């Protein structure tokens, strides 16, 4: 790597940090019910919506009612999005005349976007009508992201409030997430994307005649509006099959950096929102530091693997064995790796390169980011929850070592919180490993592979890790649009979403009732030692859980590549 490339990364992450500090403070005011600089515009709209839907914004919920409201909305969303796909051929804004989506694909897609996963087993421009893209995919990109933000705010209240019995009102949190956070940013990013060449129209597809005398179909559509929310929401679903490698979604290097920034901004702001809401801004910085260190560790390993390249390509005379297969030439190696690392650490399924073509160790890092629950920034709201669950586990280990009852952020941890924390960490892991093993050992699972050996295994375990982490990015090379994969990955997506948020709300409901622990008996969670312990627990727990399958996949492939064998 050149110094200029390192400088690009430093500038990007510095800008993200500055904006995250500001935006985290802004979100803390929004979800504390305080007046913000946008209240003059959006507060009247907010009141009208409460009146229209019969919501009493002063009436709060306990964690069970909060969770019940969330689950009901998810069920309605899955049914509505499924029905929309099945009847799109009867509905307007379908200039290409697309028919009903196959039932298993439609079910998988409905679950995918309602759970904020954006796993796409289909090709967008060949499957979905404009109405389905706008009313289905884009709308639920907003709602699913808003649910994540709302859950994050409710979880924070569990630490911030003392001896209370409620964690907020789900419908109020959902409304504020959309109006004050997602909608303004989405409008801003959409306008910028349109100015840079991202398409936004309802035109039929264009037929172009190439120099070879062939006819090429160039897809059109309202892409810019979906592009902005897909990035900010942690959704990542591409309007076009090529996602952010498509010039209509990501026209130039400037939009590429803007997309990376958009993926990070809300998730990176959550630690600062946490610090502001618990009235301890230093704690917010500590959580952010842990996230950033984990991000940089993975990015460094991935960049080293890519820039050292493939020794077999070096033997063919290619400088440094640099592998450009599967990478968009407009962006090159650096921007492809940074984009991939950002997407898999923010639970965003966007891609600007084919992960199937990355070096095995790079693929390992991207898988590990998802398998640990995507707690390195992570999904909007849910990423902070995941890391705080690891923090709870860290304090449990520390409590065992120093002989004290574990405490964190002013609240005492008891068996109930520990059980719920373990459920959050272990249920998605068990589900993805079990179904991945079935896929790797049966004909119905293996028949979809384009590669054999450890690389084929990597394609399988990546798909289930992406579903369990509610990420949605694809390794490619695996035909996942089959009934087997559509249904099994649907199960993984549901477990990855609800086995995380429901136990997390239970933790919040338990903690919110507890009194604050006196300062003198606290372990210093704002120290460098706590950051080191937290990072160690994330890495060790992830490694112990997934080490065997990662050894058989990307690690074995790397070793065989060094010995001259490819798959």
Say what the pLDDT of residue 271 is: 96
- How sure is the predictor about 321, in pLDDT bands with cuts at 50, 70 and 90? low
Domain coordinates in residue numbering, the chain = 3-279
Alpha helices (H) along 309-331:
311-315
Amino acid 412: pLDDT: 86
The answer, yes or no, to whether residue 400 has pLDDT greater than 90, is: no
Helix and strand counts by DSSP (H, E) for the chain:
22, 4
**What is the pLDDT confidence band of residue 221, given thresholds at 50, 70 and 90?**
confident
Q: Which helix (H) or strand (E) holds 491?
A: helix 483-511
CA distance 13 to 235: 21
Residue 324 CB burial class (10 angstroms; 0-12, 13-18, ≥19):
middle
Q: What is the pLDDT of residues 305-315, one digit of tens each?
A: 998 878 777 77
What is the pLDDT confidence band of residue 79, given thresholds at 50, 70 and 90? very high
Nearest one of 131, 266, 114, 292 to 188, comparing CA atoms:
266
Question: Mean pLDDT throughout 431-453?
Answer: 92
Tell me the C-alpha distance between 115 and 104, whole Å. Answer: 16
- The string of pLDDT tens digits covering residues 179-220 is 999 999 999 999 999 999 999 988 889 888 888 888 888 889
| DSSP per-residue string spanning 58-97 | T--B-HHHHHHHHHHHHHHHHHHHHHHHHTGGGSSS-TT-
What pLDDT, on the 0 to 100 scale, is given for residue 516? 78
- The model's confidence at residue 236, banded by pLDDT at 50, 70 and 90, is confident
Average pLDDT of the segment spanning 322-339: 86
Sequence-distant (≥ 6) Cβ neighbours of residue 85 within 8 angstroms:
100, 101, 106, 109, 110, 128, 132, 136
pLDDT at residue 239 greater than cutoff 90: no
Beta bridge partners of 226: none
The C-alpha atoms of residue 459 and residue 363 are separated, in whole angstroms, by 10
Mean pLDDT of 351-358: 89
pLDDT tens digit sequence for 35-65:
998 999 999 999 999 999 999 999 999 999 9
Q: What is the pLDDT of residues 506-527, one digit of tens each?
A: 999 999 998 877 655 567 888 8
Highest mean pLDDT range out of 124-128, 484-488, 514-518? 484-488
* Per-residue model confidence (pLDDT) at position 411: 84
- Spatial distance between the Cα atoms of 185 and 399, rounded to a whole number of angstroms: 42
Q: Which residue, among 211, 180, 140, has the nearest Cα to 34 in the 3D structure? A: 180
Pairing of strands 215-218, 411-412: unpaired
The residues that bridge with 61 in the sheet, in sequence order, are: 168
Looking at residue 452, its pLDDT comes to 85
pLDDT of residue 320: 62
* Whole-number pLDDT of residue 522: 64
Quote the mean pLDDT of the chain: 90
First to last CA, the chain: 27
Phi then psi for residue 532, to 5 deg, are -60, -40
């Amino acid at each position: 790597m050149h110094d200029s490339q390192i400088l690009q990364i430093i500038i990007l992450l510095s800008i993200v940090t500055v904006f995250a500090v500001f935006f985290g403070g802004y979100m803390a005011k929004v979800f504390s019910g305080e007046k913000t600089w946008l209240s003059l515009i959006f507060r009247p709209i907010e009141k009208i919506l409460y009146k229209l839907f019969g919501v009493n914004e002063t009436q709060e919920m306990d964690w069970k009612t909060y969770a019940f409201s969330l689950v009901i909305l998810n069920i309605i969303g899955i049914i509505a999005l499924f029905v929309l796909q099945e009847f799109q051929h009867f509905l307007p804004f379908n200039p290409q005349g697309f028919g009903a989506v196959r039932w298993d694909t439609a079910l998988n897609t409905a679950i995918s976007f309602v759970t904020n996963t954006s796993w796409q087993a289909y090709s967008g421009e060949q499957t979905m009508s404009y109405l389905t893209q706008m009313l289905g995919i884009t709308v639920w990109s907003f709602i699913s992201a808003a649910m994540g933000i709302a859950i994050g705010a409710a979880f924070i209240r569990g630490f911030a409030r003392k001896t209370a019995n409620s964690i907020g009102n789900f419908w109020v949190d959902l409304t504020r997430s959309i109006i004050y956070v997602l909608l303004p940013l989405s409008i801003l990013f959409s306008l910028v994307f349109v100015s840079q060449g991202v398409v936004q129209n309802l035109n039929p597809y264009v037929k172009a005649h190439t120099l070879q005398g062939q006819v090429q179909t160039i897809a059109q559509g309202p892409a810019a509006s979906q592009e902005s929310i897909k990035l900010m929401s942690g959704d990542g679903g591409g309007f076009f099959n090529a996602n952010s490698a498509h010039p209509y979604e990501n026209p130039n290097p400037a939009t590429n950096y803007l997309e990376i920034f958009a993926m990070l901004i809300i998730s990176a702001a959550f630690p600062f929102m946490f610090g502001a809401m618990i009235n301890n801004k230093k704690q917010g910085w500590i959580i952010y530091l842990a996230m950033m260190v984990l991000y940089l560790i993975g990015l460094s390993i991935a960049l080293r693997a890519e820039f050292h390249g493939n020794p077999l390509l070096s033997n063919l005379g290619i400088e440094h064995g640099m592998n450009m297969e599967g990478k968009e030439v407009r962006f090159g190696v650096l921007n492809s790796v940074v984009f991939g690392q950002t997407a898999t650490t923010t639970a965003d399924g966007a891609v600007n390169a084919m992960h199937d073509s990355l070096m095995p160790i790079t693929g390992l890092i991207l898988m590990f980011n998802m398998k640990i629950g995507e707690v390195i920034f992570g999904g909007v709201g849910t990423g902070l929850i995941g890391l705080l669950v690891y923090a709870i586990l860290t304090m449990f280990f520390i409590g065992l070592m120093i002989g004290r009852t574990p405490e964190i952020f002013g609240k005492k941890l008891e068996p109930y919180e520990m059980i719920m924390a373990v459920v959050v960490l272990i249920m998605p892991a068990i589900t993805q490993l079990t179904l991945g093993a079935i896929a790797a050992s049966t004909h119905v699972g293996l028949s979809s592979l384009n590669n054999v050996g450890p690389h084929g295994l990597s394609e399988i375990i990546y798909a289930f890790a992406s579903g369990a982490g509610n990420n949605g990015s694809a390794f490619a090379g695996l035909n996942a649009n089959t009934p087997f994969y559509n249904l099994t990955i649907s199960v993984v997506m549901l477990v990855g979403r609800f086995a995380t948020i429901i136990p997390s709300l239970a933790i919040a409901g338990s903690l919110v009732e507890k009194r604050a622990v006196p300062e003198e008996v606290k372990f210093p969670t704002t120290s460098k030692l706590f950051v080191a312990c937290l990072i160690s627990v994330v890495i060790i727990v992830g490694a112990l859980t997934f080490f065997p399958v990662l050894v058989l996949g990307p690690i074995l492939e790397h070793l065989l590549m060094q010995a001259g064998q490819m798959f």
